[in-house]
Amino acid sequence: MMDPLQMEWAMNESFRALPSVEELLQNHTLRGYERKVGRAVVVDAVRASLDATRANIRAGHAAPMPALLIDDITARIEKSVQPTLTRVINASGVILHTNLGRAPLSQDALHAIQDTAASYSNLEYDLDAGERGSRYIHAEELIKKLTGAEAALVVNNNAAAVMFILRAFAEHKQVIVSRGQLVEIGGGFRVPDVLRESGAQMVEVGTTNRTRASDFENGINANTALLLRVHPSNFRVIGFTAEVSLEELSALGHKHKLVVVDDLGSGALLETTTYGLAHEPMPQESLRAGADLITFSGDKLLGGPQAGIIVGKKEFVEKLKAHPLARALRVDKLTLAALQATLLHYLKSEAAQKIPVWQMISAQLDVLEQRANVWCERWKKFGLDASVVDALSTVGGGSLPGETLPTRAVALQVSSPHAFMEKLRAQQPPILARIENNRVLFDPRTVLPHDESALLDAVESASRILAH
């Protein structure tokens, strides 16, 4: 065994043996890459590879052969010019997976995006009048028909919709909200932060678990502009609780000539109890309850693209349309194309058949079991320890907290579930499953039919890599 001085000498010798950046850049293979992707990309890869090599040498590893160093650099170059946003197969059983982009779009929505993107469109052109038109009409009329609202407006996302309303109607004024609704949802989005950034002054009333109409009334003063109800989205308070109904809040707001806003979040246009889930509040109900403005997302239970949808009374929506922020928060033609196609599914009463989110929610257990059995039999023939098990799917995406749907999943017994999951994520396309009871589970509910073949191949590929 070498003493510390010998080890240090050997390490320094390994460092001295490494080629310099300039020497590596003269390599024929790397010069070819430089012509294809540019010098800056190649230099970055060379430096990153040398840094990693030096770290390995400090850890006691030998310096790599020159050919292996070149291979590492070329692999880094190839990776650096690949898109970072990529298709992923979701076998986790979480339908609205926020980290995976929430709602996949319907085929009609995809075709609408393609048609709109590949050519010019009448985004802001009135074909009947032959003059400039409004981009808002492409979704507004459909939203009005589906919800019964007097008017509608589409912005970037639901957080933008809430902040926009607060800025337009309550800047430098007070907004009253129940203490039990000061939620934080994914990505650190907090209602108090939104209120503060909008320029409104937040007034908390009630307690975490119990708020009454009298709490709101006692908080109203001459500087109050708006009463806000926030859907809890990703949690549920149970036990000794009380909350103010939207009907009560609306009556109180109108009595004091205040704007009443309901932040629904998920935007369900179909009755969720039909599919064995708890009831999710719907914009139609909020309008009937008297709210002046309601906000919800386009990419949650609506099943469309990311968007914030505002519906409500015409006088308030028109004020928003005329506000300077409307242009800053407006959506582009591709979002409108996808949203219009998604809304048309609801108008044609085909949402459950054509929108992927609702196809997943409405999937029958016997169909899921049939798919799981096919996967299981193939993987068993391949030599994997596979079995079909009872499991639970979740809606996710800040919708229907705590609600699950029974499913049948395929469980793989592997020596290291976490290592197996890592190899699955390295596949093309990457696969996301979940670990339960030290087994890797694949839920067919969230695997789109056209992804099945790739999933089956990827699992076998990952197992081969681990076996060697």
> How far, in Å, are 270, 296, 314 from residue 148 at the CA level?
14, 15, 12
Give the pLDDT confidence score for residue 6 in this predicted structure: 63
Give the pLDDT confidence score for residue 200 in this predicted structure: 87
Please state the pTM of the whole predicted model: 0.89
What tokens appear for 148 in the block? Answer: 């019964």
> How distant is the alpha carbon of residue 365 from its chain centre?
26
The Cβ-side half-sphere exposure at 362, using a 13 Å CA radius, reads 15
Q: Are strands 131-132 and 125-126 parallel, antiparallel or unpaired?
A: antiparallel
Rounded (to 5) percent helix, strand, coil in the chain: 50, 20, 30
Report, as an integer, the average pLDDT of 237-247: 79
pLDDT bracket for residue 233 (50, 70, 90): low
Asked whether the predicted pLDDT for residue 213 surpasses 90, the reply is no
Report, as an integer, the average pLDDT of 41-62: 90
What tokens appear for 60 in the block? Answer: 């006691």
Residue 1 vs residue 445, higher pLDDT: 445
Report, as an integer, the average pLDDT of 272-295: 95
Asked whether the predicted pLDDT for residue 263 surpasses 90, the reply is yes
Report, as an integer, the average pLDDT of 259-263: 96
pLDDT averaged over every residue in the chain: 91
Range of lowest pLDDT (49-53, 192-196, 341-345): 192-196
Give the pLDDT confidence score for residue 196 in this predicted structure: 79
The H-assigned helical ranges of 174-264 are 191-198, 213-219, 246-255
Give the pLDDT confidence score for residue 191 in this predicted structure: 74
**What are residue 131's phi and psi, to 5 degrees?**
-150, 175
pLDDT in tens, 163-186: 999 999 999 999 999 988 777 665
Give the pLDDT confidence score for residue 250 in this predicted structure: 96
Asked whether the predicted pLDDT for residue 33 surpasses 80, the reply is yes
Q: Where are the strands (E) in 277-403, listed by range?
A: 293-297, 308-312, 385-396
Q: How many residues does the chain have?
A: 468
Range of lowest pLDDT (19-28, 151-160, 230-239): 230-239
Give the pLDDT confidence score for residue 314 in this predicted structure: 97
pLDDT in tens, 122-164: 999 999 999 999 999 999 999 999 999 999 999 999 989 999 9
Question: Do residues 354 and 108 make contact, with C-beta atoms less than 8 angstroms apart?
Answer: yes
Partner residues linked to 227 by β-bridges: 176, 260
